[in-house]
Structure 1
Amino acid sequence: MARLVPLLVLVCVAVISAWAWFRSAEPVVLPKLPPVPAKVDSPPPVEEVPYTTGPASADGIGKFFHGREIAKVMGHPHINWLERPEREQEEAPSKAISDIDLAPDAVIADIGAGSGYYSFRISPKVPRGKVVAIDIQPEMLDFLRTKAAELKITNVEPHLGEIDDLKLPAGSLDAALMVDAYHEFSHPREMLASLLKALKPGGRIFLLEFRGEDPNVPIKPLHKMTEAQARLEFESAGFRFTGNLKPLPWQHLLVFERP
C-alpha cells in the first residue's frame, strides 16, 4: 500500500497538468464551409403523349393531341375581330379579369396575346409587376407596341415566342393567361412543357376557352373545348386542376397550377 501512494500522486499530477494545458491551449477554429445552395424545384416528370395525324377537317390541321384535332390559327388579319366593340357584351372580359387574383408585383404571361386586348386590361392589376405579352406573329406584336404607346402603358412587355417554346427563363412567371388561343397551338405538348418550366412552383394558369359542351355558343367546334378535354391535356402535362370560375357567357375560365 505504501508503494501505491507515490504512484497515485504522480497520476494525479499528470491529470492536473493535462487539464491545465487543455484550458490554456488556443481554441481550434474550424474552417467555414460554403453555404449549401438552395434546392431548385424541378418540374415533375411527365409522360410524352404522341401526336396522331388524320384527314384535316375544314377548320383543322389534321394533327391530333389526346384525340383533339388542332384548329387553324386565326392570324393578324383578324385583329378587328379581337378588338370588336361587342366583345364585352358577348364574352364579359371585365368579369373574367376581375376573377383573376394576382399580387401587385406578379409577372403574368398573356400567351397568344394577339392584339393585347387582355394584356392591357389586366396590366392595372400588376402595377409593380408586368404582363409578358407573348405571340408568334410579329405583326401582332407590332400592333401591341403601337397600342401600348397610345395608351401610355409601360408594364406590358411584347415578347416573340416560337410555336413550340415560350422562350422564357425557368421559374420566371407567377401566372399565365391563355384566352381562346390554346386550341390553336400546333405544338401543345411542347408548349405545355415550356410553360411548366417557366412557371414558379404554385404558379397558376388561367385558361379561357369557348365551351365545347354548349351548342348555343356560336363558335366553330374546333375553336371550342370541353372542360374534360382541357383537364385531360393539362393534367397529363403535369398541372393540377383547381377549379372552373363560372359563369361567363360563352367561355370556361379554368384554373390550373404547377405543383
Structure 2
Amino acid sequence: MLNQVSLARKINDHNQEKKTENTRYHFGQSSPDGIGKFYMGREISHVMGHLAAGWLERPEREQEERVSLLVEALNLKVGDKVADIGAGTGYIARQIAVLIGPEGIVYGVDVQPEMVKLLTDNMKQYHITNVKGILGKIDDPNLPINSIDLAIMVDVYHEFSHPYEMIRSICKSLKPGGRLVFVEYRLEDPSVPIKRLHKMSELQVLKEASPHPLEWVETIHTLPRQHIIIFKRVR
C-alpha cells in the first residue's frame, strides 16, 4: 500500500510539474534564429551544433573575447570544483583546469555526445587530467548535489530549451554559497556583431535568475563583448 501511495504521489507531482511547465513557457511564431518557445518575454535561440565546433577553437577568439580575462575574473582557487555548462570543445575548461590545479576538477557538461567526445579528445591531446566530460540532459546537467564551487555558462544559457529547469538543477549542484556565472554577449551594445537572440541584457539575466535561490553578487564589464554576471546560492 505504501508503495502504491508513493507512486500515486510521484505521478501527481509529475502531472503538476507538467502543468506548471505549460504555463511557464509560451509558444509562437519563431524568428529565423529562434525555436518559437518563449520564456519571460525572450525567445529561446537555436543551439549551435557540434558541426560548428571549430568556431569555438578559432585562433582569434582570445583577441575578440579576452577569455583569459574572463577566467581571471572568476577568482578561482586551487582545489575548486567547477562546472563548465555547455563546455563544447573544452576551450574554457582547459584554462580553468590549469588555475585550479590537479587537486581541483572541471566538469565539462554538454548535451551533445559529439561535443563531449571532442572535449575528451582535446583533454587527452593537451595532457589535461582534471577535466571530466559529462553528458547532460536538456533540463539537468547531471552533476553531483551540493558539490560545485562555481558553475559557469559561457554564451550558452540563451540556447537552453528548458532554462528554468536547468538553472534549478544547477542550483542543486552548487554548494551553499557556491557561485553561478552567466557570460552573455551584451544585448545593450548594438556594436557587438552577434545575432540578437544570441545576446542577453543584464536585466533579462537578472529577471530569469529571480525565481531561483540565487543572490546577485556583481556584474563585471571588463570584456570587450560580453558581461560577466555573478550570483551565489543562498539556500
TM value normalised by structure 2:
0.88
CA offset at residue 170 of structure 1? 1.4
Of residues 74, 78, 93 in structure 1, which corresponds to 2:52?
78
| Equivalence for 2:81 | 107
| Equivalence for 1:41 | none
- 1:174-209 deviation per Cα after TM superposition (whole angstroms, max 9, x unaligned): 110100000000000100110111111100012110
Mapped contact 1:135–1:141 kept (Cα < 8 A): yes
| Equivalence for 1:36 | none
Establish whether residue 231 from structure 1 lines up as the match of residue 206 from structure 2. Answer: yes
Mapped contact 1:235–1:241 kept (Cα < 8 A): no
- 1:94-129 deviation per Cα after TM superposition (whole angstroms, max 9, x unaligned): 111111112211100000000101000111111111
> Secondary structure, in 3 states, of the residue corresponding to 1:248?
coil
Aligned residues: 213
Of residues 181, 203, 228 in structure 2, which corresponds to 1:206?
181
Mapped contact 1:203–1:257 kept (Cα < 8 A): yes
Structure 1 letter corresponding to 2:35: I
- 1:142-200 deviation per Cα after TM superposition (whole angstroms, max 9, x unaligned): 11111111100000000010001111221021110100000000000100110111111
Q: Structure 1 unaligned runs (5+)?
A: 1-46
TM value normalised by structure 1:
0.80
Establish whether residue 155 from structure 1 lines up as the match of residue 130 from structure 2. Answer: yes
| Equivalence for 2:72 | 98
Computed over aligned residues only, the root mean square deviation of the Cα atoms, in angstroms, reads: 1.2
| Equivalence for 1:175 | 150
CA offset at residue 90 of structure 1? 0.7
Establish whether residue 184 from structure 1 lines up as the match of residue 159 from structure 2. Answer: yes
> Secondary structure, in 3 states, of the residue corresponding to 2:138?
coil
What are the equivalent positions in structure 2 for 1:235-246 lying under 5 Å apart? 235-246=210-221
Mapped contact 1:210–1:223 kept (Cα < 8 A): yes
| Greater Rg by CA | 1
Establish whether residue 165 from structure 1 lines up as the match of residue 140 from structure 2. Answer: yes
Residues 211-220 or 121-130, more deviating:
121-130
Mapped contact 1:193–1:237 kept (Cα < 8 A): yes
Establish whether residue 119 from structure 1 lines up as the match of residue 93 from structure 2. Answer: yes
Identity %: 49
Give me the whole-angstrom Cα distance separating, in 1, the residues matched to 2:88 and 2:65.
16
Structure 1 moving runs of 4+ over 4 Å: none
Mapped contact 1:208–1:254 kept (Cα < 8 A): yes
CA offset at residue 247 of structure 1? 1.8
